[in-house]
Structure 1
Amino acid sequence: MRTIKSLLLLALLSMAIMSCDDNGEIDPIDENPEEVLEGISGNMNEIEFERGETYKVVGDLTVPANQSVTIPAGVTLEFQEGTNGEAWFIEVLGSLYIQGEEGARVTLTASEALINSPKNNGTGQLWGGVIGTNVAGDLVILYTDILHAGGAAREENVMTQPSTGGGGELSAGDASYAIYYIRQNEMRQDGIFVLNNSRIAFCPDDAIRINGGKTLMTYNTFEVTGGTGGDAVNIKAGTSGDFGFNLFYNLATNGLKSADTGPGERGKCHTNFYNNTILNSGYRRSEPGRGAGLNYESDAYGDVHNNLLVNNRFGLRLVSGESQPRVESINYGYNWNYGAVQTITDEFYPTSATTSVGLIGNDPRTPVPTTDIAGAPKENDPMFENYDPSSFTFGGNSNVSTDPLARNIDPIPANADFHLKAGSPALTGGKTDFEPVHAAYTSLDGALNFAPPAPKAHFGAFGARN
């Protein structure tokens, strides 16, 4: 493996051959310069990424403005710890295409030394993240595993600069996100953000924060995202798109949350949430009344159907009060709810029993839908191929901060299979006659085109295993 930086250093070493020491003798040549030169950083356009290769990242990486970088299938980036404990970032000012393939996935992860160190508390922060700025073009990530991200931002990082919105999305020292993308109001609005067939696991706050942009997220897995807060996907103003067939497991707060707030253009937060499976989530959010599986608020709107919500702290939450969503443009129903204990079934539609009062069933404009599946504890088991939700235990919403679930960061069990068994009642009954937000998502150069998958009649991300 050679980078431009490495070649430059090799040239300097070659020049050193002609130099002499104080005694007039020629200095010895380093017979193995690769040991010194190993590692990549800086301008990613100067790095020749090769399919299937592993690269050690020893500094921040940058996609320059008005340029594009492609990371091919099978590549692994191992982010090392900086000399002063720095977490290294990928900062995107141009377009980044991470093009893993089925059977040849791309992996972005921390070094083995960091993963095995005391710094690894199970919720990431071992390296930075993939950070799109307000001058970035496309961000397309396919068949990629993004693990242990969310490290602390530094003063020189784009996450603390105006290029990520206002005075910067974060302050130096704040835990970052695994992925960030922004389309700031009155700045460029073209380009797409696509995340398909990927996995994001172990991060301290939001796994993804989107401040505007045309966005497609399908067939992904989100696992153990957030420490004591943070959504898997936190969607802000100006974002529009389709989010379907994703699996969410053991999240701190929401799986998907839309809110028409932040630095994006107002009035465009139109997001469809459909055929997603969300399990065991919302319990690490310490504030009372927070932690729904799906959440719309602050003038956000869209279609929300065919989702399978299992043992979450709250069900679909349409926020009441001043922060309520665009009620007249919310289409909901045909969602499947399962709870193993009474305190969960009581909150399929957040009620006055907690501080998380939602609109559904509490406002005449938003009745409890007759098309939903919602019953007593342990009723309506969706019948997963290899996962039993009936053993789930929870002390109750009033004492979630002291409940053992507030400290649960267990990953998905190794043999779990969230497909539905033959004969599962959740295989049929979903709604399929609604349109996507966008019919197509096309890259700036026209080379990549993605169509959102059509909704399926089964509930959740997976139907029956073939």
Structure 2
Amino acid sequence: MMKKVLHPWIMMLTVIAVITACGKDDPAPANRDDDDDDKPDTELPEGSISGNLAEIQLTSGESYTVVGDLTVPEGESVTIPAGTTFEFELGPRNEAWVIDVHGSLYIEGTANNRVVFTASEDALASSRNRGYGGLWGGIFAGRKAGDLVIEYADILHAGGIARAGTIMTTEESGGSGRLSAGDVSYAMYYCRPDGERQDGVFVLLHSRIAFTGDDAIRTNGGKTLMAYNTFEVIGQTGGEAVNIKAGGSGDYAFNLFYNIATNALKSADTQSGERGALETNFYNNTIVSSGYRRVDPGRGGSLNYESDAFGKAFNNLIVNCRYGLRLNKGESEPRYNALEFGHNWYYGQVSEVTDNFYPTNPTDPSIGLIGTDLPIPSSDRIGAAGENAPGFVNFNIASFTWANRVNNDPMPSGADFRLQTGSAALTAGTSEFEPKFETYTTLAGKVYEAPMPETYVGAFGTE
């Protein structure tokens, strides 16, 4: 019999310590030379899967134990139906199994019947589980991939140690996104290298990505829409929720980011995608208690543009984060004459936070263009410590302390980041701009519309 689906919230509540990814200096698991290393020696037990996903009949409502790498071959299209759960076992040498996508992958959960990717019960109970993911590899769309479309999915405890022969450690990663065996990996990856195919889209909607040791998502090119998602406890001593490189233009809106090691969203026109046109719009996002696990001074904490990237950043609600919207100053400056920003709302419980909304001290390593070379928008809501509380329905922003800012605590049970009726934040935004792309169309012809901006700040509006 197949195992019953494990609800991700129940799993979160029953497991106190979630896993950690090993550092980049940790030794890589040994790899055998034969091509059958990742294949079981005997017939798989009922409910266990590995190998070619295009040859596996998946049934909605069933749970599958993953005991080896899964692949979507080039030119193939795989759909994962609503209600499906994948539980990834650790390999015999603690290998982190991956889903390597060379074709197109469509993950079609629904609001009441989500798709779940998580570690197995044994992996979660193991000593490798320290709270930062890494018990399975991730979902990696390589340079030959078509679409990667994910709706209503939970992607938990991913970002395991990269292994030789998978997309992330070979030329299939598209060049500059490549990792070495032994590196901490991402939870998801999508690439469109310059000079190679540029069709297809990366769409992520209504999904939850939690517990990773480095970036949750890295893109190296590719038209991208990410909206209505939750990112939680991303990165150990560094890592963005979404790290966008050259060619990855798109819209990133109505997302919640909680306890991110560095930035929620970072855009930099570097690496292997098409250069010179990285336009990313960051709007109506809520970012809470982020930026404090990044050990480097002056690095991140909410939203970041650098290295000739540009776009629009409006209506973002940034609460108790290390820094505000940061436009890099110096050699890696963004294309600031093509950037538009404003109507962003900041709250800091202590002065150490409010002093770094837009730091202007020339000796401050976090100094950026805003407040120095560029004016602070008059439409932004900025105040002293404890001022401008947005009025969340259920979240105690006053519980933040400077002494306890560095942690890997998950979101409190029952947290509700909608705005209370009467909150001034409900009318502090602007709708006077357009998404980067009106629509995102898959290779199969399905059309996704980018959400229009709202006149409230943050991701949720009222009850």
Corresponding residue SS for 2:267: strand
User: Counterpart of 2:368?
Assistant: 358
Corresponding residue SS for 1:159: helix
Residue 331 (structure 2) pairs with residue 333 (structure 1): no
Residue 460 (structure 2) pairs with residue 441 (structure 1): no
Residues 161, 168 of structure 1: 8 Å contact kept: no
1:302 corresponds to which letter in structure 2? G
2:306 aligned to which of 297, 306, 314: 297
Change (3 A) 1:37 1:392: closer
User: Counterpart of 1:262?
Assistant: 271
Offset, 1:405: 2.8
Residue 226 (structure 2) pairs with residue 213 (structure 1): no
- Give me the TM-score of the superposition, normalised by structure 2: 0.90
Corresponding residue SS for 2:203: strand
Cα displacement string for residues 63-102 of structure 1 (whole angstroms, at most 9, x for unaligned residues): 0001100000000000011111111000000000000001
User: Counterpart of 2:449?
Assistant: 451
2:455 corresponds to which letter in structure 1? A
1:411 corresponds to which letter in structure 2? P
For residues 441 and 106 of structure 1, what CA distance do their matches in structure 2 show?
22
Bigger Rg, structure 1 or 2: 1
1:147 corresponds to which letter in structure 2? L
User: Counterpart of 2:128?
Assistant: 119
User: Counterpart of 2:460?
Assistant: 462
Cα displacement string for residues 299-318 of structure 1 (whole angstroms, at most 9, x for unaligned residues): 00001000000000000000
Cα displacement string for residues 185-230 of structure 1 (whole angstroms, at most 9, x for unaligned residues): 1011000000000000000000000110000000000000000000
Give 1:302-321 correspondences, 5 Å limit.
Answer: 302-321=311-330
For residues 35 and 89 of structure 1, what CA distance do their matches in structure 2 show?
18
Deviates more, 1:173-182 or 1:161-170: 161-170
Offset, 1:126: 0.4
2:386 corresponds to which letter in structure 1? K
Residues 281, 313 of structure 2: 8 Å contact kept: yes
2:367 corresponds to which letter in structure 1? V
Offset, 1:166: 2.0
* Percentage of matched positions with identical amino acids: 59
Change (3 A) 1:442 1:35: closer
Residues 86, 118 of structure 2: 8 Å contact kept: yes
For residues 410 and 116 of structure 2, what CA distance do their matches in structure 1 show?
18
Residue 171 (structure 2) pairs with residue 162 (structure 1): yes
For residues 243 and 35 of structure 1, what CA distance do their matches in structure 2 show?
41
Change (3 A) 1:297 1:79: same
User: Counterpart of 1:175?
Assistant: 184
Give 1:61-210 correspondences, 5 Å limit.
Answer: 61-166=70-175, 169-210=178-219
User: Counterpart of 2:5?
Assistant: none
For residues 430 and 38 of structure 1, what CA distance do their matches in structure 2 show?
49
Structure 1: any 5+ residue segments left out of the alignment? 3-32, 396-403
User: Counterpart of 2:376?
Assistant: 368
Offset, 1:37: 5.0
For residues 428 and 382 of structure 2, what CA distance do their matches in structure 1 show?
14
User: Counterpart of 1:227?
Assistant: 236
Corresponding residue SS for 2:262: coil
Residues 62, 84 of structure 2: 8 Å contact kept: yes
Deviates more, 1:165-174 or 1:82-91: 165-174
Give 1:21-100 correspondences, 5 Å limit.
Answer: 36-100=45-109
For residues 40 and 350 of structure 1, what CA distance do their matches in structure 2 show?
52
Q: Normalized per residue, which structure has more helix?
A: 1
Change (3 A) 1:168 1:156: farther
For residues 350 and 292 of structure 1, what CA distance do their matches in structure 2 show?
13
User: Counterpart of 2:388?
Assistant: 380
Deviates more, 1:200-209 or 1:282-291: 282-291
For residues 310 and 101 of structure 2, what CA distance do their matches in structure 1 show?
29
User: Counterpart of 1:412?
Assistant: 411
Residues 158, 168 of structure 1: 8 Å contact kept: no
Offset, 1:38: 4.4
- Give me the TM-score of the superposition, normalised by structure 1: 0.89
Task: Extract structure 1 runs of 4+ deviating beyond 6 A.
Answer: none
Residues 298, 324 of structure 1: 8 Å contact kept: yes
For residues 162 and 34 of structure 1, what CA distance do their matches in structure 2 show?
32
Offset, 1:35: 7.5
Corresponding residue SS for 1:413: coil
For residues 345 and 189 of structure 2, what CA distance do their matches in structure 1 show?
30
Matched pairs, number:
423
For residues 92 and 398 of structure 2, what CA distance do their matches in structure 1 show?
48
1:243 corresponds to which letter in structure 2? Y
For residues 430 and 133 of structure 1, what CA distance do their matches in structure 2 show?
38
